[in-house]
Every structure is written in C-alpha cells, then in structure tokens.
Structure 1
C-alpha cells in the first residue's frame, strides 16, 4: 500500500467531479492525467491498473490515482457498474510515503489523541475499504449538489472536497487505532472502560485510584505513556466526545448537557468544548444539521 501525506492548512484545489454509470460492459481507458483522481466504488467492481499494480475497487472502496502515472482498466466491468470520481490538486506541500514511512507518521498520532488538534497534515492511503461509507456518501452528495447551485463561491468546492479527504483519512486512522490498541496493557483497558461507563459522573483521579487500587502516580504514568495525555485530559476529552454525541442525537440544551456530564459551570463546559473542537457547542450542532440538510 502507498500513502500520501498532504498539508491542508489551505484546502485542495477542486477541478471536477461526477458519478460514472456504465451503460454496457466497460473498462477504463488507458491514460495519464496531470492531477489526482479519487475514485469511490458505488456498484459492482472496477478493475484498474496503475503502473504495474492492479486494483479491484468494490462498493465502499476508494482508490487514489496519481498524476503522471499511467492507469487503465485490465478487465471488463459489468453493465451498471458505478463509481464517484473527483479530480483535484494540492495547493500546499505533499509527499508520497511507503508503509514504513506512513507508520512513523501515524503511530505518534494514535498514541497521542491530543496531537491531532495541532496537526495540519493528513495521511491518505491510495486504497482502502471504508468502514463508514454513508458518512462519506453524505459529504460526496453535498459536493455534487454544490456544483449545481446557480451561485456558489468557487472556494466552497475546495473546502467540500477537502472535507471528503479528511473523512477518508480519519476512517483510516480509526481502523489503524483499533489494531494499535490491542498492543496496550489490559489494565489500561479496564480504566478506560470504567471512565466510559461513568462519563456522566464528576470523575476524579482519587476515585479511579480507589476503584482499581492503583497508585495515583502510577495511573498518571500509565496514561501518559500509552495515550500521550494525562488522566484529567483524557477524562475531559471523553466528556467532549459524549457531548458531541448528545448535541447531534438529542434536543438537550447546552446547559442540560453540561449538567448531565457533571460540569458544575455551564460556561466552563462551553470554554472547554471550544478549546477541544475550535467551535462552540451551539456552532457544532448547527454545523452538523446544516450539513445534513444541504446534502439532501
């Protein structure tokens, strides 16, 4: 597998997009393009060769084709075969990585969830099976809809396509995290699971230490070593994750969510949320629902 590391301090440059549907048996033409093409399988299997490597793109799979590389079909696909395609260029620095180089970038990010708040680059695999196709499909339909608008700022398409690339990168990192997590000590899982089950409470380090008969300093070292953050930071981050879930899936007010998660001060909860997410709780809720409505 190959990877792309791209700086996204500014969005990518959108070129074009669409959905291909084969009206008969079909195979991809042989060609070389001067931009990146993202392919997302929708129906049936697409058979594409890039240079000397052959790929099968099934529904829910992605394939990234590189500029300057020869790609072509190597087998016919059935009538009705369909896929999304998007062409773009990077405005900022980017580099191609092999598996070992990508791991050296990915593992520190997985080991320290706080690091991603300050990270300005994404890691994209050139091929993968999406774990949450519908989440990406919403963003793709949103992009397609935007291209049909009578008036839209040109840079809006850049941002929409950038959000698609970020979603793909995020899904890949989550899949890697699930594998990476298996190497962590079982005792850490016990504490993490307890925090998850008691996230609504006003959790303290003393309470956790008593619950598991651990020394407080040991707990601090355990989290710092394996998760890259101290225990209080991990608890706060877990509460923010739960808050995001409540903002999207319930009609609870910001105040109700703050008290549900045992924040005694609503304003403190709002400041903490803004620190972690770079957006207010209300802004997060509004942005989510506007995104869903816009994609319909």
Structure 2
C-alpha cells in the first residue's frame, strides 16, 4: 500500500467538498485531476480503481486519489450510495507518495515510548475509520463553512487539516507499525471487534469468551488502556453507529435504536442524552442531510 507523506506542518490547502448521494445505479467516471481527492463512504459500496489498484469501499472506509493518476469506477454501485468527498492540495506541492516500509521507517524514527513526535502528515492511501462520527462532523463543518458568506479559505484549510489529522491519528494508531506495544495492540483489536459486533446482544462475557480472557482480567486490562469499562465501551460503540445512521438516513428513531444494538427506544434515548448532552432528534436536526448532492466530485 502507498502512503501520502509531507513533512510540512503548514495547513493543507482546501479546494472544495460535498456529499454525493445517488438514487440510481452509479459508476465513477474515468479521469485524472490536478488535486488530491479524499472519499469517505457513508452508505453502500463504491468500486473505484486508481491506476491498477482496485478498491471496494464500504461505510467508514476512505481512499485518497492522487493528482495526475487515473481513477475510475470498475463496477456499478447500487442505488443509495452516499459518500463525502473533498479536493485539496499541499502548499508548494510539497508531498511524497511512499511505500509502507518507508512510512514505517518514518514512524519508528520519530517515536518514543509514548508518542509519535514528527510534524507533518502521514496516512495510508486507504483505510477504515472505526469511529467515523468525528470525521463526518468535520466534513459537515467544512460544508457549512463553504456555504457561508464570510467563508475564508483559511477556515477551510484549518478544518480540512483537522480532518486529515483525525484520519491520520486513527489509521496510525490502528496499524501494527510499532507505535504500540503488543498488549496495547491487542486492546485495540478488542475495540475494533466490539465496534463491529456491538449491534448484536453483546455482553462483557461474550467479549472475554471470544478473546479467551478471564472476565475480570480483561475488564481491568481494557480500562487501564482505554479509560473505559468494557460495558461502557459497548454503549459508546452503539452510539457511534447510531450517530452515523442519524446523519445518513431518514430512518425513525425507534428503528435506529434497534439497528444500533439497543434493546428499545427508551434505553437508546436515555444513553444518547447522557453521552451527547442532546436528544437523537436534536443531533439529527443539527447535521442531517444538509448538503446531499447528486453531482460527481
């Protein structure tokens, strides 16, 4: 896999962004551009190729399309496809497309026992956001800012830089690249598994059984590394999934409650209000579908 790297700590230069929503079968046109394109999937499956690399993107997965490299859809997507997109540049075109080995070398050279200390931006060509609610909110902030009369490109640059850093932080942290010790990596694997399975009737006992740990030992280990109890993290993961549904569907609250793993609407409403300091309806009204566009970007 290729990585995008720039040593520059300057804000990334924002060009434009939006959200595509297709009511019909969709296939991306063949083209190359003079800017980077970031795509983050919301709903459906996007089949897109860059040069000879074929990508099948599912919700919460992203890809970066490089300037001057041809990209195109290689299979049609079914109706209901939705994704965020953003075009951007680096100041003075100061960037490199490097190999995974070179990326790991950069990380190792700039990592001490507790943190990565290099400045700049480093992220893989494609990856999965296990907690995609923050990137989704930043995308919507970007779209809101760009439609305001007093919008400044500086605002866009800093908001976009925050988005890229959020993606970078999660993809580096979720990668087995030497940043974490073995125990911390195992804990991260448990987090990912919980997030993938929390819509079922998942319990702390189920998690411990799956990973072969004693319940008390795993509970202590998990809280020491994450700051959350296992039970609380299960609920946090369900809320994260529910927030994506609130942002990207018109489903009623009751259906979202069940589909995100809660036993009923009342439990969902109570947990959401406690976690987010607002009701699900208030959250949806703040951000829901303001910028859907059928246009290709």
Normalised by the length of structure 1, the TM-score is 0.59
Q: Segments of 4+ in structure 1 off by > 3 A?
A: 108-115, 177-185
Range with greater deviation from structure 2 (102-111 or 20-29): 102-111
The question of whether the paired residues in 2 share the 8 Å contact of 1:39 and 1:83 is answered with yes
Which structure has more helix as a fraction of its residues? 1
Shift of 1:65: 0.1
Residues 1-296 of structure 1 mapped to structure 2, 5 A cutoff: 1-91=1-91, 93-116=94-117, 119-176=118-175, 181-183=180-182, 296=287
In structure 2, list runs of 5 or more residues that go unmatched. Answer: 188-223, 229-276, 278-282, 288-297
Q: 1:184 to 1:20 in 2, by over 3 A?
A: closer
The question of whether the paired residues in 2 share the 8 Å contact of 1:110 and 1:173 is answered with no
The separation in 1 between residues aligned to 2:134 and 2:111, in whole angstroms, is 21
The question of whether the paired residues in 1 share the 8 Å contact of 2:104 and 2:177 is answered with no
Alignment partner of 1:159: what SS? helix
Shift of 1:149: 1.2
Q: 1:176 to 1:111 in 2, by over 3 A?
A: farther
Range with greater deviation from structure 2 (1-10 or 167-176): 1-10
Shift of 1:57: 1.1
The separation in 2 between residues aligned to 1:149 and 1:102, in whole angstroms, is 38
Alignment partner of 2:39: what SS? strand
The question of whether the paired residues in 2 share the 8 Å contact of 1:110 and 1:177 is answered with no
The separation in 1 between residues aligned to 2:8 and 2:138, in whole angstroms, is 17
The question of whether the paired residues in 2 share the 8 Å contact of 1:42 and 1:60 is answered with yes
In structure 1, list runs of 5 or more residues that go unmatched. Answer: 190-237, 243-288
- How big is each residue's C-alpha offset from its partner over 1:179-222, in whole Å with a ceiling of 9 and x where there is no partner? 7534479xxx9xxxxxxxxxxxxxxxxxxxxxxxxxxxxxxxxx
Shift of 1:20: 0.6
Range with greater deviation from structure 2 (173-182 or 121-130): 173-182
> How many corresponding residue pairs?
191
The question of whether the paired residues in 1 share the 8 Å contact of 2:142 and 2:156 is answered with yes
The separation in 2 between residues aligned to 1:11 and 1:167, in whole angstroms, is 14
